[in-house]
Amino acid sequence: MLNHAIARVLPVVPRPVVRRISSRYIAGSELDDATYTVRALNARGKMATIDVLGEEITDARETDAIAAAYEEVLAEVDRRHLDSNISVKPTALGLILDFDLCKRHLQQLVHRARVRDNFVRIDMEDATTTDATLAMYRELRAGGYDAVGVVLQASLKRTISDIGELADLRPNVRICKGIYVESREVQFRDYHAVQHSFVNSLEALLDSGCYVGIATHDEWLIQQAKRIVAERGLERDRYEFQMLLGVRPRLGDALVDEGHRLRIYVPFGSHWYEYSLRRLQENPSIAGYVASDTVGRVLRPGRNGSL
């Protein structure tokens, strides 16, 4: 109850507090911070996917800057021999502004990734963007851009039919619950319905020959996923688990120790605020985090006593 209330008022918590308590979820503000984090993850047997923070951009020049930042990421990953691909939010590349602009950016990034033997994951955002994002994915694939994958959200009622419609492309899909709160018309709200949809979606994707990124920290779903891949006798290079930086790292260690592949989502950049709010709102111990940070600051005030 308290957690729920705190999660709702987070948008009025001062930004410096949000920044401090969300630092575990973000590699830092610079590319060097991200590559440092990825190197440490790789050393622990974990792959990565780097996200340049930025979303719902409304100015075409900003999309150029984000696209350039991703090109730099691909070059740096290559130069440093890191095991990391990239995850891209279509609205950060202009999806809402201009579909063709976004498509040109994505084509360029997928081309650059292909040349470097790498891969681009198109993140999925809120339900108003699902049609455009899936259309974009289909157009990229039709144009011969193959080093690219998409995301489907198990909490959306449409997902099982989207899997059927995409099947001819044998897409590389990340399946996750989905972070955005949508209307009841389009989204399952019941916890068990979402779990059921996740399991059904994973089975349908694997049965249509897709490579699947299983993105969850939910222990029951991870058990189900292990059962599903074992029943199908899948080699470890036919699927991977995926988790977010800073969320349940011990659970991730256990998956790696059992021989599964695991990829960690590593966000970095100056646009940290919206991403941080989403992660904090999902943290079941948010009240404890905010309280310990605030109490800590009261007991150890900064030089000017401010937060």
Rounded CA gap, 95 and 56, in Å? 8
Is 187 among the residues that bind ligand FAD (CB under 6 A)?
no
Member of 22, 85, 153, 187 binding ligand FAD (CB under 6 A)? 153
Q: How far is the CB of 122 from ligand FAD (least distance, A)?
A: 8
Q: Which stretch binds ligand FAD (CB under 6 A): 36-44, 108-116, 279-287, 290-298?
A: 279-287
What is the full DSSP assignment across 97-163?
T-HHHHHHHHHHHHHHHHHTT--EEE----GGGHHHHHHHHHHHHHTT--SEEEEEETTBTTHHHHH
CB-based contact 160:201 (threshold 8 Å): yes
Is 215 among the residues that bind ligand FAD (CB under 6 A)?
yes
Member of 242, 252, 260, 276 binding ligand FAD (CB under 6 A)? 242
**Biggest alpha carbon distance in the chain?**
62
Is 211 among the residues that bind ligand FAD (CB under 6 A)?
no
Q: Which stretch binds ligand FAD (CB under 6 A): 31-39, 105-113, 163-171, 242-250?
A: 242-250
CB-based contact 178:217 (threshold 8 Å): no
Q: How far is the CB of 301 from ligand FAD (least distance, A)?
A: 27
Is 260 among the residues that bind ligand FAD (CB under 6 A)?
no
What is the full DSSP assignment across 30-70?
SHHHHHHHHHHHHHTT-EEEEEE---S---HHHHHHHHHHH
Is 244 among the residues that bind ligand FAD (CB under 6 A)?
yes
Choice between 31 and 48, CB closer to ligand FAD:
48
Burial of 192 (0-12, 13-18, 19+ CB in 10 A): exposed
Tokens coding 261: 């592949």
Q: How far is the CB of 125 from ligand FAD (least distance, A)?
A: 7
Q: How far is the CB of 23 from ligand FAD (least distance, A)?
A: 13
CB-based contact 77:50 (threshold 8 Å): yes
Q: How far is CA 138 from CA 97, 146, 159, 208, 266, in A?
A: 19, 10, 16, 17, 26
How many C-beta atoms surround the C-beta of residue 84 within 10 A? 28
Q: Is 172 helix (H, G, I), strand (E, B) or coil?
A: strand
Member of 180, 204, 277, 294 binding ligand FAD (CB under 6 A)? 180
Is 106 among the residues that bind ligand FAD (CB under 6 A)?
no
Q: How far is the CB of 220 from ligand FAD (least distance, A)?
A: 9
Rounded CA gap, 37 and 231, in Å? 34
Is 86 among the residues that bind ligand FAD (CB under 6 A)?
no
Which residues are catalytically annotated? 123, 174
Is 56 among the residues that bind ligand FAD (CB under 6 A)?
no
Q: How far is the CB of 126 from ligand FAD (least distance, A)?
A: 8
Member of 216, 222, 275, 276 binding ligand FAD (CB under 6 A)? 216
Helix (H) or strand (E) holding 174: strand 172-176
Tokens coding 26: 């973000």
Is 284 among the residues that bind ligand FAD (CB under 6 A)?
yes
Is 46 among the residues that bind ligand FAD (CB under 6 A)?
no
Question: Contact letters (x/-) for ligand FAD, 109-148, by CB under 6 A?
Answer: --------------xx------------------------
Residues forming the site for ligand FAD (CB under 6 A)? 123-124, 151, 153, 176-180, 215-218, 242-244, 247-248, 265, 279, 282-284
